[in-house]
Amino acid sequence: MNQISLEGIAQVVEATHVVSASAEQERSYHWAICSDLMSDVLTRDGDGAVLVTSLASVQALRAADIVGIGAVILSNGKRADPQMLATAQSLSVSLMTSGLPSFEICIALGKAFAL
């Protein structure tokens, strides 16, 4: 599996950074979890993963933080509200938003990680 930087992931999924947690800049990722249900996210060990979700809520960030996921990609152009931005900063979880649907983000990430 390819290790991809946050910047590389943003390019692959056509995403805009909303919050870039400083500690995350050097981190790399090699797989993704895609779900809108946070209990599903909690069943996984999230080291090296990004979370793809259309759930624009602080709970997506909290669930990600609990299992060690360092970055969350909001799909379908979902926007983060001020509470979400503050929580991302507080938890040091990177946050970006992509206009692509979750399915297309997963295809793009799957290809990129497999290259």
Partner 1 sequence: MIQNLPIDITNSSLVIRELITRLRVCDVMSTDMITARRSDTLRTVQLQMKERGITGVPIAENGRVFGIVSVDDIIQALDEGHINDRVDAHMTKNVVLLEEYLPLSLAVSQFQRYSYGRFPVVNKEGLLVGIISSRDILTKLLVEINREVDRLETLIPASVPTSDRPNGFREFTIKQYDLDNGGKATESIKKLCESIGLDSRTCRRIAVIVYELEINLAIHSYGGVISCSYTPECFRIVSRDNGPGIADRDLAVTPGFTTANDWVKSLGFGAGMGLPNIKRVADEFHITSAKGHGTVVTVSVNLVQTGGGETK
Return residues touching partner 1 (CB under 8 A).
Answer: 36-40, 42-43, 45, 53, 55, 57-60, 62-63, 65-68, 83, 91
Q: How far is the CB of 112 from partner 1 (least distance, A)?
A: 26
Rounded least distance, CB 50 to partner 1, Å = 17
Closest CA to 30 of 93, 106, 92, 113: 113
Q: How far is the CB of 35 from partner 1 (least distance, A)?
A: 9
Residue 113 and residue 89 in contact, taking contact as beta carbons nearer than 8 Å: no
CA-nearest of 3, 113, 24, 2 to 72 is 24
Task: Tell me whether residue 94 or residue 112 sits nearer to partner 1 (CB atom).
Answer: 94
Nearest residue (CB) to partner 1, 10 versus 80: 80
Strands 28-29 and 4-5, bridge-based pairing: antiparallel
